[in-house]
Amino acid sequence: MISSTILGACLFFAFPRTQKLIQNKQQIQFLILSFATFFSSSTIFILANESANSWGYQARGLSSTWLALAILIAAISALITSRKSPILWIIIIFGGFSSACFSIQRDNYIASWKLQTLILGDALSLIKAEKVPQDAALIGNVPKFLNPNFNDELVFSQPWDFPAALAILSNNNIRSGAVLDSRRGDFRKIQFINNQVRLENWSGANADNLWFYDFDPINRKGTLRKMHSLLELESQITALGYRP
């Protein structure tokens, strides 16, 4: 919404100062249609009562907005006839910053993928070494974001990434699980209810076959322990900084 307003203001104030921007009626119609598409893609979050995120899984919701913005910029560029046009310089500067941001995030997500691979490999080796029984539940204390990061590049953040990956790679030794990141103080709203431990977006598990994996980002190694009771698990995460 804000970006649409800013872009609209730039068009309103800059167009009268450029030389012969209008080439034909079709280009102007395409420009208006492109702006309407971009504006609609931006305001859909207001109608859905959701916030637009430029990081993580939720960033995929902005795909239509970025596509509409690219089409709008192309429509504006087609109308520019003077190299001294202020809009042309705005587009060039915007394109330069966008390319730089993309390059940084691309490299960071490559580093994030490498860290994911390292953690999964370490966890799998420990699962085999400890001879974890079938259908185990595992809570992983793993990094949520790459450190350092540029735009909160994710490493592991949901039950369907770290535990689900282990379930596939371990031939279902791991049945389910969740993640937390004690080094960021993010314990994912952990609760101990009705002889079960529950975390955000995870239905929970009891202590019958519960394991706790703790990855140390400094040593780049993890430890795996069986939790014999929920009290033992609570003591473990309390030592990591959890406060009920």
Q: How many CA atoms lie within 13 A of 16 on its CB side?
A: 3
Q: What is the pLDDT along the chain (244 residues), one digit of tens a residue?
A: 444 444 554 554 444 444 444 457 788 888 889 999 888 887 877 777 777 777 776 677 778 888 888 899 988 888 887 778 888 888 889 889 988 988 998 999 999 999 999 999 999 999 999 999 999 999 999 999 999 989 889 999 888 889 889 989 988 889 999 999 999 999 999 999 888 999 988 988 999 999 999 999 999 999 999 999 999 999 999 999 998 8
Instruction: Among 63, 84, 105, identify where a domain stops.
Output: 84
Q: Does the residue 18 lie in any domain?
A: yes
Query: For the chain, what is the domain count?
Result: 2
Q: Would you mind telling me the total number of residues written for the chain in this entry?
A: 244
Q: Report how many helices (DSSP H) and strands (DSSP E) the chain contains, helices first.
A: 6, 7
Considering the domain architecture, whether residues 147 and 42 belong to the same structural domain is answered as no
Cβ pair 154, 142 in contact under 8 A: no
Instruction: Indicate whether this model's pTM tops 0.85.
Output: no
Cβ-contact 76, 33 below 8 angstroms: no
129 and 80 in a common domain: no
Domain range for residue 59? 2-84
